[in-house]
């Protein structure tokens, strides 16, 4: 994995060094809307504030939402390019690809789940080339682990529900990975589609009615945006759940295996800072997460009547009492 720390450390905080009268303009290109995908944008703004940037004061973030239609990305990217921003943030492979097709000169800082080399966004992780760099994850590789950990926490589990968002551009790919992993592990996946907040209650109760012995909440901005609603609903339904982001376990979810999306977007903010200060994307290695954590919330386990096996507690990076 490639770390950013040594590169970012040589640059002063941008908020203290921007020339007077020059306010950076950044484009932000995302699927969904502020209601469904606002968690990632909020995390990015938090990261930028730590670097001295405040949206609307010494930086302007021009947000373009594509809704549930990835086909909107090329038009939205072209409209951003016309405004000549200092950088464009791409939040998925389709939005980053659209931005790259729209400009070869404006820096593009990506945050994608998937392989940016295979997607043709960069030449390599170490030497991106061109005008695209940023961060990427391979979180789909965690799917087998989510199923395995649930099977250890809930012995004899047969049916595992998976909350999915059919409006997400990567939903079909993620579900294919779930089915593949479930066959190997010997469990049956139950697909629960939830695309709007009003459906969340119905979806979780459907998982319960269909006899699911466990539940997976994947790493999607939509679910991260609904964190404070999702966790209590799942706990009240008495479902043993595993989440892809540690924030869910910290908020009362049973356990998580993955990373902190807030930390992840903090690193993205550092990349954005670098390119706004003149660093060339071609020279900035693409960063991938170096820290994947298993977090177990024992208080929630006790409430659900689940006795966590010792072998699982030993593997945990953090245990919340």
How does pLDDT run across 112-146, given as a tens digit for each residue?
988 999 999 999 999 999 999 999 987 778 999 99
Percent of the chain with pLDDT over 90: 75
Residues 107 and 186 in one domain: no
Asked if residues 95 and 72 have their Cβ atoms less than 8 Å apart, the reply is no
Residues 85 and 224 in one domain: no
In angstroms, the CA 145 to CA 261 distance is 18
In angstroms, the CA 124 to CA 116 distance is 8
Residues 273 and 212 in one domain: no
Asked if residues 316 and 309 have their Cβ atoms less than 8 Å apart, the reply is no
In this prediction, residue 13 carries a pLDDT of: 35
Range of the domain at 170: 140-259+292-320
Residues 306 and 193 in one domain: yes
In this prediction, residue 8 carries a pLDDT of: 39
Residues 133 and 177 in one domain: no
Instruction: Give Cα 113 to chain centroid, integer Å.
Output: 7
In angstroms, the CA 320 to CA 108 distance is 38
In angstroms, the CA 299 to CA 251 distance is 11
Tokens matching residue 142: 């965690």
Q: Does residue 207 sit in helix, strand or coil? A: helix
Residues 299 and 240 in one domain: yes
Is 6's pLDDT higher than 80? no
Residues 56 and 199 in one domain: no
> Which phi and psi angles does 235 have, rounded to 5°?
-65, -40
The angle at the Cα of 180, spanning 177 to 181, to the nearest 5 degrees, equals: 85
Residues 122 and 13 in one domain: yes
Tokens matching residue 205: 């109760």
Residues 229 and 182 in one domain: yes
In this prediction, residue 14 carries a pLDDT of: 38
Residues 124 and 249 in one domain: no
Residue 319's H or E segment, with its range, is strand 318-320
How does pLDDT run across 41-87, given as a tens digit for each residue?
999 999 999 999 999 999 999 999 999 888 999 999 999 999 999 99
Instruction: Name the band, by pLDDT with cuts 50, 70 and 90, for residue 4.
Output: very low
194-198, 209-213, 226-230: least confident range: 194-198
Reference 239, options 205, 273, 195; nearest CA is: 205
pTM to 2 decimal places: 0.87
Residues 108 and 174 in one domain: no
Residues 314 and 254 in one domain: yes
> Which phi and psi angles does 67 have, rounded to 5°?
65, -140
Give the CATH number, domain containing residue 85.
Answer: 3.40.50.2300
Helices (H), the chain: 5-8, 14-17, 34-50, 73-82, 93-102, 143-153, 171-185, 200-209, 221-225, 227-236, 246-250, 261-276, 298-304, 310-315
86-90, 181-185, 251-255: least confident range: 181-185
Q: How many domains does the chain have?
A: 2
How does pLDDT run across 148-192, given as a tens digit for each residue?
999 999 988 899 999 988 877 777 778 888 999 999 989 999 999
């Amino acid at each position: 994995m490639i770390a950013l720390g040594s590169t970012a450390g040589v640059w002063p905080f941008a908020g203290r060094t921007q020339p007077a009268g020059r306010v950076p303009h950044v484009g932000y290109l995302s699927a969904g809307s502020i209601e469904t995908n606002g968690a990632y944008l909020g995390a990015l703004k938090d990261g930028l504030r730590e670097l001295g940037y405040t949206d609307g004061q010494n930086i302007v973030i021009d947000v373009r939402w594509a809704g549930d239609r990835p086909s909107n990305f090329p038009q939205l990217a072209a409209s951003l390019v016309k405004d000549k921003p200092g950088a464009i943030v791409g939040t998925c492979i389709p939005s980053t690809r659209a931005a790259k097709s729209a400009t070869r000169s404006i820096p593009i800082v990506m945050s994608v789940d998937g392989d940016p080399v295979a997607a043709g966004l960069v030449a390599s992780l170490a030497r991106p080339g061109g005008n695209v760099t940023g961060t990427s994850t391979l979180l789909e590789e965690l799917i087998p682990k989510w199923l395995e950990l649930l099977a250890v926490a809930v012995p004899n589990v047969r049916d595992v529900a998976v909350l999915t968002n059919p409006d997400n551009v990567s939903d079909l790919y993620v579900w294919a990975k779930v089915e593949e992993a479930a066959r190997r592990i010997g469990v049956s996946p139950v697909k629960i589609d939830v695309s709007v907040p009003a459906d969340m209650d119905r979806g979780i109760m459907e998982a319960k009615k269909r006899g699911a012995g466990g539940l997976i909440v994947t790493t999607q901005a939509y679910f991260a945006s609904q964190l404070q609603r999702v966790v209590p609903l799942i706990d009240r339904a008495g479902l043993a759940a595993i989440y892809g982001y540690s924030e869910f376990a910290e908020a009362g979810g049973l356990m998580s295996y993955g990373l902190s999306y807030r930390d992840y977007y903090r690193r993205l903010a550092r990349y954005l800072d670098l390119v706004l200060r003149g660093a060339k994307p071609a020279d900035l290695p693409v960063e991938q997460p170096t820290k994947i954590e298993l977090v177990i919330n024992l208080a929630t386990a006790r409430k659900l009547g689940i006795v966590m096996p010792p072998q699982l507690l030993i593997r945990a990076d953090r245990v919340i009492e």
